[in-house]
């Protein structure tokens, strides 16, 4: 993985000093709440329902074991012993004290981490495929490009006061595991007509109140021009994006208002006017960064069947929580953070430290964070998966539900967030209580359940095969259900099935949707595909047919 040189180190250290001074001035009354707000937000610090929340960047979701150990240690010493992994591959602490934040940042800087631009109207932490570099289906490892974008976007002099937040995702595989079509810019590694390396560029995707799927701005961009092209898009957006209405300020609204043709024309015109002297990534720099992501020195092994003769619990875990690796004899292992009685995405200090140790022992010292709020050990020898499973199971980290209904995405909701209408964590608990039979979950197969506590859509409900959105009705929590959404290569937005339902009826509503699926599905058809084939109608009819059983 990438390691800091003197430039990177200088920048994060100087950032800590800058933020320490800003915090001191705020606590001394020299900065008003509002003045400090603009500064702290660009450093991931929110003031939340109960306490400040600090969001720490995990660039493109990749952590060393040492970094994860530090995250665990921070959780124990500055928080209440846990952290929350987010849909943007970051981690959030919900209980730090403002006066401690500069010290936390200093500890992060010591392990080459930071909270720069994890919130605020600026270019956010770049996200990517959590399986990058380990999967067989990749054109090219996207992480070097993520790192190049991370550096370019950090303290970008021109684009730190944008109309609204700005998210970029990069993928290197035809299978989109980074929800790239739902980002302000999606960068897809591609090949030109003669096989030359470059990118397809999308813009204007996003969730929130107005969900939109991104559109192609450029079919093929030669790789050395990536940064100048991103600058052209950002410049058009910075100048022309709306600043009068926070709900209409994302680039998706600009792209919609202009139409993709006109938006493309403006971006191309801007790009043509400066690409000759704009930032260009020379081959030496591309190679310098790529060297950090060179393939590991894998052992020469053969594929084996670790499940042969083993107990059913291991076999279920192996089937659901591991994935093919590009190297024979290796396996990608998911660590589920979706244990039924735990808030989705949460991990304790001890769990983080244990996972760091397991990464050292079994997976070349690296851990990845997925946008579905799980962790991944990317390079595990197949013969070691049984040992690894036993260690994970003892720590409550082997819930065999990856890709199933209970592997749900969920925002922190009312329990922590000052924006939320609904206690999404509580609903997650109700769902887990209702759907605790693994045979049934496995029979249902792959279903993305995504839940947001409010229309800001941090839980990506629009792109869940089943989406759940918390709404406020006269001070009560209600839930609007959508079906048919997807975040992958076949991205689509879900359809509302009808009036929202009361909290206690959410599990029954899901049960009825699933009942229709089980009745109507064709062999090997996913829930999503059944919905696409039949439309909302049969589901709607069943859900609203009669009052939910008490």
Partner 1 sequence: MPRRLLRDGAIVVDEWRTAGDGAALADDAALMLSLAEFRAERERWLARAAPLGVILAPADNEQELVSDLARLALVAAEFPTVSEGRGYTQGRLLRERWGFAGELRARGAIRRDQVFLLARCGFNSFELPESELEGAEAALRTFSAAYQPSNDRGLGAALRHR
Q: How far is CA 536 from CA 26, 123, 496, 514, in A?
A: 52, 37, 8, 13
Q: How far is CA 55 from CA 14, 121, 310, 505, in A?
A: 19, 15, 41, 33
User: Residue 35 Cβ, how far from partner 1 at the closest point, in Å?
Assistant: 7
Separation between Cα atoms, residue 532 and residue 61, nearest integer Å = 31
E strands of 394-542, at which residues?
A: 409-410, 449-452, 466-473, 476-483, 495-496, 501-502
Largest CA distance in the chain: 69
442 exposed, middle or buried (CB, 10 Å; 0-12, 13-18, 19+)? middle
Using the minimum distance from each CB to partner 1, give the nearer residue, 249 or 528: 249
Bridge-based pairing of strands 466-473 and 449-452 is parallel
Could you tell me the two tokens for 460? Answer: 């990506």
Contact by Cβ (8 Å): 354, 369: no
Using the minimum distance from each CB to partner 1, give the nearer residue, 285 or 426: 285
Using the minimum distance from each CB to partner 1, give the nearer residue, 241 or 485: 241
User: Residue 259 Cβ, how far from partner 1 at the closest point, in Å?
Assistant: 21
Write 147-152 long-range contacts (CB < 8 A, 24+).
147/2, 147/59, 147/60, 147/289, 147/292, 148/226, 148/227, 148/281, 148/285, 148/286, 148/289, 149/187, 149/226, 149/227, 149/230, 150/59, 150/60, 150/125, 150/126, 151/8, 152/227, 152/230, 152/279
Separation between Cα atoms, residue 490 and residue 532, nearest integer Å = 11
User: Residue 292 Cβ, how far from partner 1 at the closest point, in Å?
Assistant: 14
Interaction site with partner 1 (CB under 8 A)? 5-7, 10-11, 14-15, 18, 22, 35, 38-39, 121, 151-152, 154-163, 235, 238-239, 243, 273-274, 277, 279, 285
Using the minimum distance from each CB to partner 1, give the nearer residue, 44 or 413: 44
Site of tokens 């990856």: 402
Using the minimum distance from each CB to partner 1, give the nearer residue, 253 or 355: 253
User: Residue 382 Cβ, how far from partner 1 at the closest point, in Å?
Assistant: 40
User: Residue 335 Cβ, how far from partner 1 at the closest point, in Å?
Assistant: 33
User: Residue 147 Cβ, how far from partner 1 at the closest point, in Å?
Assistant: 11
User: Residue 238 Cβ, how far from partner 1 at the closest point, in Å?
Assistant: 5
Using the minimum distance from each CB to partner 1, give the nearer residue, 11 or 260: 11
User: Residue 498 Cβ, how far from partner 1 at the closest point, in Å?
Assistant: 39
Using the minimum distance from each CB to partner 1, give the nearer residue, 69 or 235: 235
Using the minimum distance from each CB to partner 1, give the nearer residue, 6 or 549: 6
Using the minimum distance from each CB to partner 1, give the nearer residue, 116 or 356: 116
Site of tokens 């260690």: 391
| Angle between helical axes of 312-321 and 385-394 (0-180°, round to 10) | 100
User: Residue 91 Cβ, how far from partner 1 at the closest point, in Å?
Assistant: 23
């Amino acid at each position: 993985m990438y390691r800091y040189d003197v430039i990177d180190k200088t920048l994060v250290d100087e950032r800590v000093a800058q933020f320490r001074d800003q915090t001191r001035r705020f606590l001394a009354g020299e900065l008003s709440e509002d003045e400090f707000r603009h500064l702290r937000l660009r450093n991931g610090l929110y003031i939340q329902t109960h306490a400040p929340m600090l969001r720490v960047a995990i660039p493109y979701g990749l952590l060393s074991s040492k970094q994860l150990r530090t995250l665990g240690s921070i959780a124990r010493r500055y928080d209440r012993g846990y952290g929350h992994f987010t849909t943007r591959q970051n981690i959030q602490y919900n209980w730090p004290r403002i006066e401690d934040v500069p010290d936390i940042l200093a500890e992060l800087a010591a392990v080459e981490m930071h909270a720069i631009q994890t919130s605020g109207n600026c270019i956010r932490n770049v996200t990517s495929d959590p399986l990058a570099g380990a999967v067989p289906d990749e054109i090219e490892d996207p992480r070097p490009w993520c790192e190049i974008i991370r550096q370019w976007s950090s303290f970008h002099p021109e684009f730190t006061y944008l109309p609204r937040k700005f998210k970029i995702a990069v993928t290197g595989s035809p299978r989109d595991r980074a929800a790239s079509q739902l980002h302000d810019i999606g960068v897809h590694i591609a090949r030109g007509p003669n096989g030359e390396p470059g990118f397809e560029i999308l813009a204007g995707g996003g969730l929130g109140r107005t969900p939109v799927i991104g559109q192609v701005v450029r079919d093929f961009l030669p790789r050395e021009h990536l940064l100048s092209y991103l600058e052209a898009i950002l410049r058009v957006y910075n100048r022309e994006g709306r600043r009068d209405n926070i709900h209409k300020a994302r680039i998706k609204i600009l792209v919609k208002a202009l139409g993709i043709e006109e938006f493309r024309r403006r971006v191309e015109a801007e790009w043509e006017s400066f690409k000759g002297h704009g930032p260009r990534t020379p081959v030496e720099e591309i190679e310098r960064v790529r060297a950090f992501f060179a393939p590991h020195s894998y052992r020469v092994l053969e594929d084996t069947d670790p499940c042969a003769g083993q107990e059913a619990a291991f076999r279920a875990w192996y089937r659901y929580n591991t994935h093919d690796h590009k190297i024979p004899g290796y396996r990608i292992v998911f660590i589920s953070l979706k244990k039924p009685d735990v808030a989705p995405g949460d991990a304790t200090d001890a769990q983080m430290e244990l996972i760091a140790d397991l990464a050292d022992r079994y997976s070349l010292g690296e851990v990845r964070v997925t946008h579905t709020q799980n962790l991944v050990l990317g390079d595990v020898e197949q013969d070691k998966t049984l040992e690894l499973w036993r260690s994970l199971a003892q720590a409550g980290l082997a819930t065999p539900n990856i890709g199933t209904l209970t592997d749900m995405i969920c925002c922190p909701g009312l329990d922590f967030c000052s924006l939320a209408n609904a206690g999404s964590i509580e609903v997650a608990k109700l769902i887990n209580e209702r759907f605790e039979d693994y045979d049934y979950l496995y029979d249902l197969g792959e279903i993305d359940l995504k839940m947001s506590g409010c229309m800001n859509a941090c839980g990506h409900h629009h792109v869940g095969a089943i989406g759940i959105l918390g709404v406020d009705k006269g001070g009560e929590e209600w839930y609007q259900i959508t079906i048919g959404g997807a975040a992958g290569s076949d991205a689509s937005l879900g359809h509302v099935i009808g009036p929202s339902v009361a909290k206690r009826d959410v599990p029954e509503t899901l049960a009825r949707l699933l009942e229709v699926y089980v009745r109507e599905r064709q062999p090997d058809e996913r829930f999503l595909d059944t919905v696409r084939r039949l439309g909302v109608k049969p589901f709607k009819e069943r859900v609203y047919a009669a009052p939910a059983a008490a």
